[in-house]
């Protein structure tokens, strides 16, 4: 049974405060993009995991393995699975690739094992595995709050082209939050970003987009800031780091710029992908 696991970008990310449990209270505008991994899971006589990327390990840290273990324990499933993952979305990129893989795994297991999960059970499983898993399960634009478990879906009526550019090094989300200075970072008004997307106020959107975690991630990997500045100098109307990085994206309504910049950054050796909102 095959499914696509769609990546996301953050069009705004506001870190509001640190919680007593060590997590941070967030407000985010998240949107799925037409860029994905491909996951196929079939019932089998023994567990097997195959992928096209040699660096990916299927151990207890892998989000797919976490989801399979959660479902087996929660619902007393003893079935074995043959799993094939074609990985396109890079890791440590701020694009929720691992979260999307876990969410897609849950979708497949729900059907493959006839679990008939309720909305509450889906939420419980997603939150247990990772912060962005619930969003990537539904793949709808949303205002996301808490640590990722509160979703307010809305419609985007503001088209534009997106260019993803990722530096060679990734960023640890944990390290980014550890280095975050709440007094120095940006604190975007996520409601304004949501309204701009709903009402096709493109230039208002460009002025309102910001990400609190850029302050910390720029310190960890200065090349992220360099790419952002280059995209703006190239003529993109706005540029932002997604999540905790290291991917930066530029948005434009100029299709020629979208194509030419893709070629330029690819020739410089970066991971680059042209995409649009899903």
**Model pLDDT for residues 86-144, shown as the tens digit of each residue:** 999 999 999 999 999 999 999 999 999 999 999 999 999 999 999 999 999 999 999 99
Q: Note the pTM of the prediction, 2 decimals.
A: 0.96
Residue 88 · residue 33 · CB < 8 Å: no
Instruction: For residues 4-16, give the mean pLDDT.
Output: 98
Per-residue pLDDT at 21 exceeds 90? no
Spatial distance between the Cα atoms of 21 and 277, rounded to a whole number of angstroms: 34
Please count the other Cβ atoms lying within 10 Å of the Cβ belonging to residue 200. Answer: 12
**Model pLDDT for residues 177-196, shown as the tens digit of each residue:** 999 999 999 999 999 999 99
Phi first, then psi: give them for residue 5, nearest 5 degrees.
-110, 100
| Domains 2-153 and 161-275 alike in fold | no
Strand order in the sheet with 238-241: 238-241, 248-252, 161-166, 271-275
Give the residue extent of every domain in the chain.
2-153, 161-275
CATH (residue range 161-275): 3.30.70.890
Residue 131 · residue 148 · CB < 8 Å: yes
**Model pLDDT for residues 225-252, shown as the tens digit of each residue:** 999 999 999 999 999 999 999 999 999 9
> Quick one: pLDDT at residue 191?
98
Spatial distance between the Cα atoms of 14 and 6, rounded to a whole number of angstroms: 23
Class of domain 2-153: alpha beta
Residues 6+ apart with CB under 8 A from 74: 125
Query: 252: buried, middle or exposed (CB in 10 Å: 19+, 13-18, 0-12)?
Result: buried
**Model pLDDT for residues 63-74, shown as the tens digit of each residue:** 999 999 999 999
Catalytic residues: 8, 132
């Amino acid at each position: 049974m095959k499914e696509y696991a769609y990546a996301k970008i953050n069009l705004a990310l506001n870190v509001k405060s640190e919680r007593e449990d060590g997590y941070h209270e967030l407000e985010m505008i998240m949107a799925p993009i037409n860029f994905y991994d491909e996951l196929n899971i079939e019932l089998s006589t023994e567990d097997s995991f195959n992928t096209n990327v040699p660096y990916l390990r299927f151990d207890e840290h892998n989000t797919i393995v976490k989801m399979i273990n959660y479902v087996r324990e929660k619902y007393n499933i003893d079935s074995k699975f043959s799993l094939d993952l074609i990985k396109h979305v890079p890791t440590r990129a701020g694009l929720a690739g691992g979260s999307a893989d876990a969410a897609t795994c849950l979708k497949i297991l729900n059907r493959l094992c006839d679990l008939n999960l309720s909305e509450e059970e889906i939420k419980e499983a997603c939150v247990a595995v990772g912060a962005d898993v619930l969003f990537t399960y539904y793949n709808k634009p949303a205002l996301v709050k808490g640590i990722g478990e509160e979703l307010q879906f809305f419609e985007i009526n503001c088209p534009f082209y997106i260019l993803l550019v990722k530096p060679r090094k990734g960023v640890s989300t944990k390290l980014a939050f550890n280095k975050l200075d709440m007094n120095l970072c940006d604190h975007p008004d996520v409601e304004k970003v949501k309204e701009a997307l709903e009402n096709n106020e493109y230039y208002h959107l460009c002025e309102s987009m910001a990400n609190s975690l850029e302050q910390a991630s720029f310190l960890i990997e200065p090349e992220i800031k360099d790419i952002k500045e280059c995209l703006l100098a190239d003529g993109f109307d706005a540029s932002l780091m997604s999540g905790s990085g290291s991917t930066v994206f530029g948005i434009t309504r100029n299709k020629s710029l979208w194509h030419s910049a893709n070629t330029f950054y690819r020739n410089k050796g970066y991971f680059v992908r042209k995409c649009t909102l899903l």
